[in-house]
Structures are given as C-alpha cells and as structure tokens.
Copies of this chain bind each other. A is one copy, B any other.
C-alpha cells in the first residue's frame, strides 16, 4: 500500500532506530504477517536478523506493548496480542493500518464510529466555539476551496477542518477521537479516484453547510448537517470499495 500520510500526531520518531524497529514490527502485526499468538523473533535471534541491539529492540517492544499490540512475559516470549487488546483508536495504530491493504470491515467500522461521534462534536462546536475556533475552522475550509481537488494541501485542510471542530468542543477526551476521524477521511480520500470531480464538489458543499451552522451557533443544525456529510462520504467510499474488487473479477473473466 505504501501510502505515506502526514501522520501529524504520531508518537513514533522514524529517525530513531528503535522507531524503525517498532514500525516494522507493528506493520507485520497489523497486516497479519505475524498472526495472533505468534512469537516475535527471539531477542537474541533478532539481532542476527536485522542487526539491531537488544536495547533498541526491547524499547520498540515496550512502545508497542503500551498500545496493546504485543505482550511480553518472561520465558514464554513476546507474543502478538489478540486483536481485541489492540488500541485501535491510537493514532499510531491507525496510521500503521495505512500500510496494509484496505480492510473494508475496518473502514466501515471507523465510519460507523465517526457517524456516532462527529455529529455530536459538531453540535458542541456550534454551541461552544470561540471566535478563534471559528476562524480556525473557516481557514481550513478556505484551504479546501482554494487548492486543487485531492491535492495534498486540500487533504490537509480537510483534516484540519474536522480537527478544528473537535478542538472547539473543548472536551479533551472527545478530541482524542479526532485522529480516528482523520484516518477515516484519509482512507476515503485515498480510495477515491483523483478525477472524481463530482464527489469533491458535493463534499465541499457539505462542509460549507456544516460551517454555516457553526457560524450561526445552531447546534442541532450542525449535527444534522455533519450527519449528512459523513453519510455522503460513507456512501461514496463504499461505492469505491465495491469498485476495487469489481475490476479484479472482470479482469479474471
């Protein structure tokens, strides 16, 4: 997949060696290359395999264990934790998913979560926003309008729009869901054909309507319009997901 999204809130420093090891292990776990319960390469064996010291390796494992991806116990070894233990809402875990093939179920689940949370967030944002919050949201929207569709700055502006809405809720725990929403958006944009002008325009209108409701401080309206936005995005993404498998089948025929 190799989609390299600008993971802003990511905690892993890719420059450091332990970070590279952690990344490597994480991707292997998430893609399923290392299945649940599998022993990770023995700490001693590993240094032969990728020539890294135990120190770096162990720090990588500690990093991953904090996210529930692995579980280390003396003697029994370090094993891949069951998926139920993974913190799927962790920004790093979400980002690592981009290096695996798109998992339709996962993307649907994320959209479902988003559909529950984001309209409520928009309601709060409309009710609680400061002028500075509004300015931030508007700036993001301008960024979406003034840049070419699906270009990098446009995507960033889209993410910033939604993130700014979360920020305006003034609810820190709720804001922790912003990365999940960002990931969902990035999945949908990634899957999208870059020439889908129609969808882009529709999305822009959806965003504008949400913005307007927030300007008017109309919470219920903002929530309703955000629902509409998410549903539109979901529908077009589902079409694209269906389309991804379609050509394969046709090609085989």
Instruction: List the interface of chain A (C-beta within 8 A of B).
Output: 9, 11-12, 18, 55, 58-60, 62-68, 83-92, 106, 109-110, 112-113, 116-117, 120-121, 124, 171-177, 180
Contact = CB atoms under 8 A, between A and B. Distances in A.
Contact of A89 (B9, B65, B110, B176): B176
Contacts of A117: 116-117
Given A59-B59, A66-B63, A112 B11 contact: no
The residue among A9, A109, A117, A173 with the most chain B CB atoms within 10 A of its own CB is: A173
A103 B83 CA distance: 32
Contacts of A64: 66
A214 to B, nearest CB: 17
Given A117-B116, A171-B113, A89 B177 contact: yes
Counting from the closest, the 4 A-B pairs by CB-CB distance are A66-B66, A116-B120, A62-B62, A109-B171
Given A116-B120, A120-B116, A173 B88 contact: yes
A122 to B, nearest CB: 11
Given A63-B66, A66-B92, A90-B90, A83 B172 contact: yes
A172 B68 CA distance: 13
A101 B108 CA distance: 39
A124 B92 CA distance: 27
24 contacts: A9-B85, A11-B66, A55-B55, A58-B59, A62-B63, A66-B66, A66-B90, A84-B175, A86-B172, A87-B90, A88-B172, A88-B173, A106-B172, A106-B173, A109-B172, A109-B173, A109-B174, A110-B173, A112-B171, A113-B171, A113-B174, A116-B120, A116-B121, A173-B180
Residue of A64, A90, A92 most packed against chain B (CB within 10 A): A90
Contacts of A91: 87
Contacts of A11: 65-68
Contact of A63 (B9, B65, B175): B65
Contacts of A55: 55
A109 B63 CA distance: 28
Nearest to A94: B173
Nearest to A83: B172
A190 B236 CA distance: 46
A60 B66 CA distance: 10
B59 A89 contact: no
Given A66-B67, A86-B172, A89-B176, 8 more contacts: A11-B67, A11-B68, A12-B66, A63-B63, A63-B66, A109-B171, A109-B172, A113-B173
